[in-house]
Chain A
Amino acid sequence: MRQAGAYSKLVSGGRSGPHALPLARIKKIMKNSSEEVKMISGEAPIVFSKACELFIEELTKRAWAMTLQGKRRTMQREDVASAVITTDLFDFLITLVSDSVPAQESLPVLEP
């Protein structure tokens, strides 16, 4: 369950360290995302920080599954790309990873 951390507000069960993403940096990225981004409440970056953690966790673990499939112990860029391709939820990342796709998994519809 949740640990009451003395450090960041985002210590969650199952993690050994209380590392959290810097809120100011998140806020900066949020503002960059759109020309007309409104004011951002003080608490919104906190919500983002946790969501990012969950997102990284999911992507990392899926990439790791690809690494294991390849019988390796070092995660490579192509593992991340494969994880993106095989997960519908991560479709928004396909363009970002399209140059790292391992040959056997290239989608025919990918734009060059």
Chain B
Amino acid sequence: MEPMDIVGRTKEDASLPKATMTKIIKEMLPPDVRVARDAQDLLIECCVEFINLISSESNEVCNREEKRTIAPEHVLKALEVLGFGEYIEEVYAAYEQHRHETMDTMRSGKWSNGAEMTEEEALAEQQRMFAEARARMNGGGSAPKQSDAEAQPSSNS
């Protein structure tokens, strides 16, 4: 008999933190609105299902391009394929913003990746990746080079 896994380490238990989700949901609504707990639960379940859906499709996109690592471009393509193309612009902008902040951190030396790119090289690399991503989003048929496997912290824990 298997013991109850109350710590939630089983494969099916990965979900999103309720407190964070509740805050996000509430922020989207007028302040005097209440959300029933089971409605919150359902929203969270829907979000997890959304991640599953996009993940599967991203995986497919990645396979088709014969890449080993699911990259942001694959996720963006998946969003488009599944009808969430409207999200792409904002998602991409958030990604770019993160890249900028990451570059700042790299410059300050926190992310020493051994390659030690100069600032110009880092910026050039960044522009190249953006251009590739844009080309992909614009329906470019050519497969981009695997660009970020070495330079970015890619983990598969």
Contact = CB atoms under 8 A, between A and B. Distances in A.
Contacts of A55: 46-47, 50, 84, 87
Interface residues of A, number: 64
A53 B20 CA distance: 11
Helix, strand, loop or mixed for chain A's interface? helix
Contacts of B154: 39-42
B94 to A, nearest CB: 4
A14 to B, nearest CB: 9
Given A44-B70, A51-B75, A74-B36, A32 B12 contact: yes
A19 B33 contact: no
Given A42-B153, A80-B42, A25 B70 contact: no
B12 A12 contact: no
Interface residues of B, number: 69
A56 B15 CA distance: 14
A102 to B, nearest CB: 13
Given A47-B91, A74-B35, A77-B38, A37 B70 contact: yes
Helix, strand, loop or mixed for chain B's interface? helix
Given A19-B23, A25-B14, A51-B87, A41 B48 contact: no
Nearest to B60: A34
B34 interface: yes
Nearest to A78: B39
A71 interface: no
Interface of B: 11-12, 14-17, 20-21, 23-25, 27-29, 32-36, 38-39, 41-43, 45-56, 58-59, 62-63, 67-72, 74-76, 79, 83-84, 87, 90-91, 93-95, 97-99, 101, 148-149, 152-156
20 contacts: A29-B48, A34-B59, A41-B70, A43-B71, A43-B95, A44-B70, A49-B94, A50-B87, A51-B54, A54-B84, A54-B90, A60-B25, A60-B28, A60-B43, A63-B39, A75-B29, A75-B33, A76-B39, A84-B46, A97-B46
